Structure formats: C-alpha cells, structure tokens
Amino acid sequence: MNRTQLLSAASTIAVLSLAAAAPAMAQTKFEFWYGLSGDLSEKVQEMCSRFNASQADYEIVCVSQENYENNLQNTIAAFRANKQPTVTQISDGGVVDLMLSGAFLPVKQLMEDNGYNIDWSNYNSGVASYFSTSTGELLAMPFNNSTAMFYYDTDALAAVGFEGVPETWEQVEDAARKLKEAGYSCPIAMDPTGNWQWWEQFSAIHNVPIASNGNGYGGLDAEVLFNQGKFVDQLAFYKRMFDEGLMVHKSKAAGQTANEAFIAGDCNMTSSSIADHGTFSTQKKGNWQVAMLPIWEGTVRQNSLVGGAALWTLKGKSAEEYKGAAAFYNFIAQPEQAQHWSTITGYIPVTVSGFEAMKAAGFYDKAPYKGRELAIESLLYTPAGEYTRGVRLGNFGAVRQEVIKAMQSVIFDNADPQAALDEAAARSNEILRKFEQTYAGQKLP
C-alpha cells in the first residue's frame, strides 16, 4: 500500500464515520425561491420555519431573490442550467412565458398525485382565474395575492378641512390642492415605475382594455390598446398634477420610495399594494386610512386586478422533492396558516372560507386590520369581466417597461402624452409579435 492509497482509505473511513453520525432519518431538502424582501421576506422565512417545525420529513430552504423580476431571471437561469428550485414564486408579469414553457407541474395534478385533497372551488375566483388555463385548470398554488389600494393620511387631510374618503380623482385632486395651499410639500407620492397601481389597475376599474383579445386572454395575437381614450387623459392628468406640485416623484433613484415617504409623513397620500398594509401598520405613526383606488366621477367602478404571485412547481426534480412541495402547499392551504399569513402581511386570504372566517371572527372590525376588507371588496366589486380579470401578454415585463418609459418621458421630459403612448404601443406590439414568433404555432393553455 503506498501513501496515496493509505490517504484515500483514511479519508473514506472519516467520511463514513461522519455519515454514520448524521441523524438516521434522512430529511428531504428542497428549495423555494421567492421575490420579496425586507419586512415581507422575514414573514416568508417565518412561514418556512413553521413548516419545518411542523413535520420531520421535509426541510424547505427558502431563498429571497429580492424582487419578482430578479426571481424570474434567476429561476430561468437556474432552470436552463438544471439547478432550479423545486418551488418558485412567479408574479403576474411572468405568467404567460411560464405557461408556454411547459417547465412546470400543474399544482392540481401535483396535489392529486401526492394524495392531498384540496377544495379548489374554495379559492377566490379572481385569484384562481389568473393562474388557471382557459379551461379552468389551476396551474400554480395561490400564495400571496393582493390588489392596489389608495392610502391617505387622515391627520393631514383633516387639518386642511378635507373630511371623508377620497373616492374619486376629483376628490383626490381637491384634497391635494388644499394640502398644497396649506404648505404641505408633497400631497401625493407617485413613482411612474409603479405602473401596476397607477396604470393597469386604473384600466381595470374603469373597464378600459389594455390589449385586444380580452387583454390577451383570447390568444397570442393580441395588440395593446393603451394609447387610446382614457389612458391619454389619465397620463395628461398625472402630468398636470406633477406640474402643479400636487404629485411628487418618489423612487429608489430619488433617494426615498413612495412608501417610505408616506411612512415618514413626508407625503400625505400614495397608492400601493394591500400587502403593504401590514408594514404601514407597524411603521407609520399618526392616523391613516386605506381606500379603494379613486375613479373618475361619472364612471362605473369595476373590480380591480389581482396582483401578487403564485407558487409554481418546476419540472426536473425528484419524486421525494415533489412530495415535500405538496406537503408545503398543503401546509399553507390550512385555514389557520392561511389566516396567520394574511394577518402578518396584508395579503388577502386567498380562499373564500378563509375570508368569511376572518370576517366572522371580527378580524376586520378594529385597528390595525380595519380597512383590509376593502381589498376583497375591490377585487369582488363586480364579477371579473373581459378587461378586469387580468392581463395575459407575452414578455409582459418588457411591455411594462415601455409604459414606464412613456409615463416618465411625459412627466419628466414634457413629451406629448399621445405621442409618447403611441410610441410605447408600437414598441409593445413589436415585442408581442416577436413573442408570438418565438412560440410560433403554440396556443395559450
């Protein structure tokens, strides 16, 4: 026996003894990547450790990828390198690309295969339809769902003599004007990159189409329509609000985000996801309220769009890992877990029975949770119609960037609203046509 053989023998023995020292019961580890950070990320981690503590067979490893966009990018890169997590959180913007990729296992099938019986009809219809095929088969596990809301500082508004709820844009403008006259420097915090709340939700509650084919649900040959009618007026309105100092630009690049400005009391009104209700409750001092998004007088309010994300199970993992994923989904579907999750964040309860139970228990009657029921009310305001059930466009992330650029060029660089939106629409249609070519011959499931 020479030296190398001796060494390798010794190291083999060492490894074997280490392995023997490990716990006899082998746990199945699987990864879950998500796109939340800060406060919400901590809440996800808490959820994960509760799952790990609740059973001994599986260990979920939860990894934050900062935001939905990064998570989508990183998941794709990992999937292409065959290093994908078992579970990933993909938001509305990435749904179509994933649907056509065939890179996932439909959640319904996964749960059935692993012997879990979930009452899918119990899921909030708006949430379920966003992540379902056209025939109603649910593809991903609803997890953190929300809608956009309007937040306002009641102390500041009362101080300038504005009473009641700012329900219409006319009232919002009136309140903002009173605040400005009274010396408040930032009545409304607005970030044009938040086009989900300032643009897409606006389209839904006013029932104006973002794209033809029923916002893309009817097929990949949809064309965007956001350069027409109310959209142009709305962008011109935002521009006027900026010019009069009633809206103020707040963003990461400006050094303070709109939410931070609202929490700090630097700005008195803003629009954001209901998911931030929990964060505002714990961090904002003084009195504030949440309301449904403002509409224009003379228009009929429609239901708002579902936001947030669902959990997708990716292909290419072992049966054991899928068992673990199914166990995790089953865990978060339990009424008490779902309620806990909704309580600590602000995300809506995704099941009908969950919402009814929370309502019956008086959860929404008092602070700090009062007001959150408005999100459900907003989502269920009318039955989801052709232009209020969601947006199903390929490479939607890129289309969103075009809208953001149009909004920024109008607000920052004084571009003409119609011209800016026309260009954004032309470019968006090019993106959609290229996407259609890339998936030539395929149809939305």
Distance, C-alpha 68 to centroid of its chain: 8
Q: Read out DSSP for 321-348?
A: HHHHHHHHHHHHHSHHHHHHHHHHS-PP
Q: Which of residues 152-171 bind other proteins (CB under 8 A)?
A: none
Work out how close the CB of 270 gets to other proteins at its nearest, in angstroms, rounded to a whole number. Answer: 17
What's the angle, vertex CA 142, arms to CA 70 and CA 46, rounded to 5? Answer: 70
Which range, of 329-337, 349-357, 374-382, 427-435, touches other proteins by CB under 8 A? Answer: 427-435
Q: Which of 337, 397, 419, 429 binds other proteins (CB under 8 A)?
A: 397
Per CB under 8 A, 434 contacts other proteins = yes
Euclidean distance between CA atoms 259 and 278, whole angstroms: 12
Residue 70 or 382: the one with the smaller Cβ distance to other proteins is: 70
User: Is 104 or 369 the residue whose CB approaches other proteins more closely?
Assistant: 104
* Coil, helix or strand at residue 214: helix
Q: How many CB atoms neighbour CB 3 within 10 A?
A: 7
Burial 155-187 (b: 16+ CB within 10 A, else e): ebbeebebeebbbbbebbbebbbbbbeeebebb
What six digits make up the tokens of 1?
A: 């026996």
Residue from 92, 97, 321, 373 in contact with other proteins (CB under 8 A): 97
Per CB under 8 A, does 401 bind other proteins? Answer: yes
Tell me how far, at minimum, the Cβ of 377 lies from other proteins, in Å: 34
Footprint of other proteins on 115-154 (CB under 8 A): none
Give how many residues touch other proteins by CB under 8 A.
34
Q: Is 76 in the site for other proteins (CB under 8 A)?
A: yes
* Helix, strand, coil share (%) of the chain residues, nearest 5: 50, 15, 35
Cβ 101 to other proteins shortest distance, Å: 3
> Judged by CB, which is closer to other proteins: 136, or 316?
316
Q: Does 79 bind other proteins (CB under 8 A)?
A: yes
The pairing of beta strand 87-91 with beta strand 28-34: parallel
Q: Is 405 in the site for other proteins (CB under 8 A)?
A: yes
256 lines the binding site for other proteins (CB under 8 A):
yes
Distance (Å, whole) CA 146 – CA 200: 14
> Where is 396: in which H helix or E strand?
helix 396-413
Give dist(CA 250, CA 185) in Å, integer: 12
Q: Which of 37, 41, 67, 73 binds other proteins (CB under 8 A)?
A: 73
- Pick from 388, 358, 402, 210: nearest CA to 293: 388
For residue 273, the minimal CB distance to other proteins (Å) is 21
Residues 6+ apart with CB under 8 A from 440: none
Residue 80 touching other proteins (CB under 8 A):
yes
By the rule CB under 8 A, 255 interacts with other proteins: yes
Report H helices in 91-229.
95-101, 107-113, 125-130, 154-159, 169-181, 195, 201-205, 212-215
Contacting other proteins (CB under 8 A), which of 41, 101, 125, 299? 101
Q: Which of the residues 221 through 240 are near other proteins (CB under 8 A)? A: none
Q: Which member of 66, 69, 223, 416 binds other proteins (CB under 8 A)?
A: 69
Please state whether 164 falls in left (phi above 0), alpha (psi between -120 and 50) or beta. Answer: left
Stretch that binds other proteins, among 13-21, 29-37, 331-339, 408-416 (CB under 8 A): 408-416
Among 114-122, 154-162, 198-206, 254-262, the segment contacting other proteins (CB under 8 A): 254-262
Candidates 5, 117, 135, 437; binder of other proteins (CB under 8 A) is: 437
Q: Does 102 bind other proteins (CB under 8 A)?
A: yes
Q: How far apart are CA 32 and CA 86, in angstroms?
A: 6
Contact residue for other proteins among 120, 237, 381, 439 (CB under 8 A)? 439
State both tokens at 121: 């009809």
Q: Does 200 bind other proteins (CB under 8 A)?
A: no
**At its nearest, how many Å lie between other proteins and the CB of residue 23?**
37
Residue 29 contacts other proteins per CB under 8 A: no
Amino acid at 12: T
- Cβ closest to other proteins, residue 218 vs residue 245: 245
Compute the residue count for the chain.
445
Q: Which phi and psi (to 5°) does residue 69 adopt?
A: -60, -50
Binding flag, residue 431, other proteins (CB under 8 A): yes
Residues interacting with other proteins, by CB under 8 A? 69, 73, 76, 79-80, 97-98, 100-103, 249, 251, 253-256, 395, 397-398, 401, 405, 408-409, 411-413, 427, 431, 434, 437-440
